[in-house]
Amino acid sequence: MSDSPTEFLKLFLAQERDLRGFIGSLVRDSQAREDIFQETALSLWKSFSDFDPTRPFGAWARGIAGNKIKQSWRADARRPLSLPPEAVDAVCDAYDRSDSGDSAVREAALRICLEKLPERARQALTLKYESGQSAGVIATRLGSSVDSVHQLLSRLRASLAECVKRQLTHEI
């Protein structure tokens, strides 16, 4: 697998919400959830060269998150286990079964949504996610402030997520 930071970010950002949901379904404490998410993200980044691109990234990420959850439970002997380790595996399997696997359909929906965006918005997304530019560089290129670039990207991510969701519900 390529060690491309851009490829990692593309895959990771596409799965971030589901990964947080998976961890949240098993870990009740908000600080522990965030710690496990951060540890998982770091582990995914460090081991990305081992990722098999013929398999779903989300399943791979959830497997690593599941291991981090079990490690966390073993390390904190003061706190009784919320669920047995087998439950983590069962939840992971359930996520994998419900994972649509239709990345081509999702990509087509995303393309449709991207085409609807104004040129400036597409340019910001291209600079950020294809070129890997910092908010400072994007701000300079677009003639705006770093804060406004952060706000723009945040709004665009939310807007695209909602648009893709709408597109997918029309597909079903």
The amino acid present at 39, given as its one-letter code, is E
More confident residue, 76 or 132: 132
Is the pTM here over 0.85, yes or no? no
Average pLDDT over residues 99-115: 73
Mean of all residue pLDDT scores within the chain:
82
pLDDT value of position 96: 62
Q: What is the 3-state secondary structure (H, E, C) of 118-129?
A: CHHHHHHHHHHH
Q: Write down all domains in the chain, each with its CATH number in brackets.
A: 5-98 (1.10.1740), 103-171 (1.10.10.10)
Q: What is the mean pLDDT of residues 64-70?
A: 90
Give the contacts of 2 (CB within 8 A, at least 6 positions apart).
Answer: none
Cα angle 105-162-31, degrees, rounded to a multiple of 5: 105
Handedness of CA 25, 30, 36, 41 (dihedral sign): positive
Mean pLDDT over 70-84 rounds to 67
Q: Which residue has the higher pLDDT, 97 or 33?
A: 33
